[in-house]
Amino acid sequence: MLKGKNALITGASKGRGRGKEILSAIRNVDLLLLMVDVQYLGHLEIIEKELYDAGLRLNQNIPGVFTTRKDSGGIKVNSTIILTYLNEDIIKAIASEFVTNADIIIREDISEDQLIDSFSKNRAYMQAMVVVNKKDLVTKEILDENIKKIRAKGLDILAISAKNDDGLDELRENVFSRLKIIRVYMKPIGGDVDYDKPLILKEGETVEYASSLSIKPRRARRS
């Protein structure tokens, strides 16, 4: 429902428009930003549905289901916790669509959809964040109410106004934090610290590691 040549539209998961191409590219990202207009928040549900139907799971962990296939013996189910959404008969019925003989160990209280996901090979789990733009066009009460509804679905959300440059610094910091990126301000010998072009590293990387690379160090992009 977003406008533009590379938009994710209704039916994208079934190949409409350039849906397959866009969804394939999304699978390779480290962080997905879902940007919607504050006046059209209903578009978020459409985007979520297309992503879900394409096998993309936002802000979810891989289900704690461990399946060991075997040559015979049917399907055996063991659980290390109490299951409130499933029972052994349901688990076996769903599992039989994917395996004939297997030992299944379940280590978290999962739903039917999560059990199906554990057997499917095309699921992608990724971080996602909702960015609501044009917050200056609605009252604070309306904005807060909508933010509350979105957060109730387990999605992180940040409201901004690109036009008024409101919230953009917070958005940058959130992206850095979610991607575990750090800035390293370099100081050449005999020179001053360069605060304009920091070296960008992933958490755990060192300056020594960066200097050992044959490629040029990654630089912060100016916005």
Which tens digit of pLDDT belongs to each residue from 153-211? 888 999 999 999 999 999 999 998 899 888 888 777 888 888 888 878 887 787 677 66
The predicted pLDDT at position 188 comes to 79
Nearest 5°: phi and psi at 155? -110, 135
pLDDT band at 221 (very low <50, low <70, confident <90, very high): very low
Nearest 5°: phi and psi at 213? -75, 145
pLDDT band at 40 (very low <50, low <70, confident <90, very high): very high
The stretch 99-121 carries a mean pLDDT of 96
Comma-separated ranges of CATH 3.40.50.300 domains in the chain: 1-61+123-178
Nearest to 133 by CA among 211, 43, 58: 43
* pTM listed for this prediction: 0.77
Measuring CA to CA, how many Å separate 48 from each of 10, 77, 151? Answer: 10, 32, 14
What is the spatial distance between Cα 48 and Cα 69, in angstroms, rounded to a whole number? 33
Nearest to 66 by CA among 108, 10, 3, 15: 108
pLDDT band at 3 (very low <50, low <70, confident <90, very high): very low
pLDDT band at 6 (very low <50, low <70, confident <90, very high): low
What is the spatial distance between Cα 9 and Cα 18, in angstroms, rounded to a whole number? 9
> What value, to the nearest 5°, has the Cα angle with vertex 53 and ends 130 and 113?
95
List of residues 6+ apart from 183 with CB closer than 8 A = 176, 198, 199, 200, 220
Q: What is the mean pLDDT of the chain?
A: 88
Residue 74 has a CB neighbour count (10 Å cut-off) of 12
What is the spatial distance between Cα 117 and Cα 61, in angstroms, rounded to a whole number? 11
Report the CATH number of the 1-61+123-178 domain. 3.40.50.300
pLDDT band at 73 (very low <50, low <70, confident <90, very high): very high
Asked if the model's pLDDT at residue 217 lies above 50, the reply is no
pLDDT band at 213 (very low <50, low <70, confident <90, very high): low
pLDDT band at 7 (very low <50, low <70, confident <90, very high): low
